[in-house]
Amino acid sequence: MKLNQIKKAYKNYINFGQEKYVSLFSFSKDIFTKSAGMYIFTDKKKKYLDLTGGMGVLNHGHNHPEILFTRLKFQKAKNLEVHKNILSPHLAKLSEKIYKILPNELKISFFPNSGAEANEGAIKAAYKFFEGKKDIILHSDRSFHGKLIATGAISSPMKNVNYPKFLKNKTFKFNDIKSLKKTINKYKSKNIFAIIIEPFSASTFSSCSYSFLKELRKICNKQKIILIYDEVYTGWCKTGYLFYFMKYSGICPDILTASKSLGGGKASIGMYTMKSKIFNKSYGNIGDSLLHSTTFNGFGEEAVTALKAIEIMMRDKYDKKSKNAGREINKNFEDLKKKFYNYNMSIKGCGCIQNITIGNNEIKDSFLRSLLSKKDYKKIGILRARLFEISILDYLYTKFSIFAFHSPGKLVISPSLIIKKQEIKYFFKALSETLELGREKLIKIYLTKNIKSIRRL
Ligand SMILES: Cc1ncc(COP(=O)(O)O)c(C=O)c1O
């Protein structure tokens, strides 16, 4: 398919808003056909360093050869894929492996297809545990648990979306034990079936303290509330620990959810793993056992891929890789910050999930007016707060062949864990040369090239 055909298909059959948004970036003018390790390649054989890590999916990098080989082997052998009523050796091996690498208490696993489904499954198991006698779930004000109908309703960025209120939920302040206690007192523990939290919030790049997590665990034990940790993004060594909560002792959740790099960048597979006592009470009878099933639970090829993905992560010490890369990112950042002190920059994160905020990003009105027609100036208004970072990302892409992305106000650096020191250095050198141009010049370059896309917004 040619680029204009792909774009047309997005406009007509997929998501026209998404097409308009990505058209703001120069990478949308390329077709990517191949990928390997840290790099993605266009149909014209141009190579780009990918710093997005597929937003958490690509801890192993693109197309890890062992993952490809495992899938090919499975296909060549014409293995039986899936049948709900035939017990699967692949699912058996994967579930046992998960039990062996997690704290002993976490024992029973289920494998849906995404992070949101993993969280919905965890919520369902927790709700069922109390036989419908408790009906409130607590979540923090910095939560992202997915976009499905229950997970969306308990995710803070989606507060303005009109999700139906069938799941009673209440909010407490992230990492704030006083706020948590106040919320529990207000809604009464006899009504609260679960608390769900990201020990490291992947959308705000902030973490819960050990003292908060310890107290949270204690409260849940005492008040008989099921504790769910969402490590969909942060799992599988992304923060430098197999799971972020494993940085500490004595705070194991009742249910853990994960996904993303469990599929080795090739399989769409999620996971939730719970303590036996929860499974036994929620699904431990013949009648309920099939409520704990879906068509694709533990699909054969997905299961062998996940097993291989875990084997590689453990064998190649991905936790260490992530910690080392995180250290290198921070070291390079400190030099950059010294050089560009007037930009008031800061870095936040852990291991291979970091963001850089460029504090001083205000754009003078007179500058924009001098560059643009009245109509274009009005259009730019929507993008104003993001214009500087978008200009930086676009310059990094066109001039230095670096593919990175942002969350509002931040440059996100979330690379695969296989990133090398030289690649981190290359990125910071490129960022330094980019910032040297100065804010106004960068924006001018960006607007000159992309004004047509902005007019389409
Ligand atoms: C912490 C967290 N939970 C849940 C999800 C939802 O996962 P999915 O997009 O696979 O549904 C995400 C996705 O980014 C996430 O970061």
User: How does pLDDT run across 243-255, given as a tens digit for each residue?
Assistant: 999 999 999 999 9
**Mean pLDDT, to the nearest integer, of 83-88?**
84
Q: What is the pLDDT of residues 196-237, one digit of tens each?
A: 999 999 999 999 999 999 999 999 999 999 999 999 999 999
Please report which confidence band the pLDDT of residue 360 belongs to, taking 50, 70 and 90 as the band edges.
Answer: low
Residues 44 and 183 in one domain: no
CA-CA-CA-CA dihedral for 191, 193, 194, 195, to nearest 10? 10
Tally of structural domains, the chain: 2
Our answer on whether the CB atom of 271 is closer than 6 Å to any ligand 1 atom is no
> Which residue in 123, 119, 111, 149 sits closest to 226, CA to CA?
123
Residues 322 and 302 in one domain: no
DSSP-assigned letter for residue 37: B
Contact yes or no for 140/179 (Cβ under 8 A): no
Residues 6+ apart with CB under 8 A from 176: 212
Contact yes or no for 229/207 (Cβ under 8 A): no
Residues 59 and 75 in one domain: no
**CATH number assigned to the domain comprising residue 144:** 3.40.640.10
Residues 252 and 116 in one domain: yes
Question: Which of 295, 315, 335 is where one domain is finished?
Answer: 315
111 Cα distance to chain centroid: 18
Residues 181 and 95 in one domain: yes
pTM of structure = 0.96
Residues 324 and 225 in one domain: no
Q: Is the pLDDT of residue 368 over 90?
A: no
Query: What pLDDT is recorded for position 440?
Result: 92
Mean of per-residue pLDDT scores for the chain: 95
| 451 alpha carbon – ligand 1 mean position (Å) | 33
Q: What are the angstrom distances between the C-alpha of 455 and each of 6, 333, 380, 394?
A: 20, 35, 8, 17
Our answer on whether the CB atom of 146 is closer than 6 Å to any ligand 1 atom is yes
Query: What pLDDT is recorded for position 222?
Result: 98
Our answer on whether the CB atom of 114 is closer than 6 Å to any ligand 1 atom is yes
Residues 91 and 171 in one domain: yes
DSSP-assigned letter for residue 52: S
Element (H, E) at 411: strand 410-413
Q: Which residue's CA is the nearest one to ligand 1's atom 8?
A: 115
Task: Supply angle C-alpha 322, 118, 259, rounded to 5.
Answer: 25
Our answer on whether the CB atom of 233 is closer than 6 Å to any ligand 1 atom is yes
Query: Which residues pair with residue 346 across a beta bridge?
Result: 357
Strand 405-407 with 32-36, pairing: unpaired
Contact yes or no for 191/135 (Cβ under 8 A): yes
Q: What is the pLDDT of residues 101-138, one digit of tens each?
A: 999 999 999 999 999 999 999 999 999 999 999 999 99
Query: What pLDDT is recorded for position 179?
Result: 98
Query: What pLDDT is recorded for position 296?
Result: 85
Our answer on whether the CB atom of 415 is closer than 6 Å to any ligand 1 atom is no
Residues 82 and 203 in one domain: yes
Q: What is the pLDDT of residues 403-424, one digit of tens each?
A: 999 988 899 999 999 999 999 9
Query: What pLDDT is recorded for position 239?
Result: 98
Q: What is the pLDDT of residues 148-189, one digit of tens each?
A: 999 999 998 776 678 887 889 999 999 999 999 999 999 999
Residues 443 and 361 in one domain: yes
Our answer on whether the CB atom of 232 is closer than 6 Å to any ligand 1 atom is yes
Half-sphere exposure in the Cβ direction for 405 (13 Å, CA): 14
Question: Which of 252, 280, 315 is where one domain is finished?
Answer: 315
**CATH number assigned to the domain comprising residue 12:** 3.90.1150.10
Residues 388 and 244 in one domain: no
Query: What pLDDT is recorded for position 359?
Result: 81
Q: Is the pLDDT of residue 312 over 70?
A: yes
Query: What pLDDT is recorded for position 365?
Result: 85
**Mean pLDDT, to the nearest integer, of 436-443?**
94
Q: What is the pLDDT of residues 262-287, one digit of tens each?
A: 999 999 999 999 999 999 999 999 99
What range defines the domain where residue 100 resides? 65-315
Our answer on whether the CB atom of 305 is closer than 6 Å to any ligand 1 atom is no
Q: What is the pLDDT of residues 1-41, one digit of tens each?
A: 999 999 999 999 999 999 999 999 999 999 999 999 999 99
| 64 alpha carbon – ligand 1 mean position (Å) | 22
CB atoms under 10 Å from CB of 439, counted, come to 20
Residues 124 and 243 in one domain: yes
The ligand 1 atom at the shortest distance from the C-alpha of residue 56 is 14
**Cα(123)–Cα(110) distance, integer angstroms:** 13
Least confident of 229-243, 302-316, 440-454: 440-454
Query: What pLDDT is recorded for position 361?
Result: 65
Query: What pLDDT is recorded for position 194?
Result: 98
Question: Which of 315, 334, 364 is where one domain is finished?
Answer: 315
Residue 20, Cβ density class (10 Å: 0-12 exposed, 13-18 middle, ≥19 buried): middle
Our answer on whether the CB atom of 198 is closer than 6 Å to any ligand 1 atom is yes
Residues 275 and 369 in one domain: no
Strand blocks (E) in 68-167: 106-110, 136-140
| 71 alpha carbon – ligand 1 mean position (Å) | 25
* Residue pointed to by tokens 């909560």: 245
Our answer on whether the CB atom of 361 is closer than 6 Å to any ligand 1 atom is no
Q: What is the pLDDT of residues 38-71, one digit of tens each?
A: 999 999 999 999 999 999 999 999 999 999 999 9
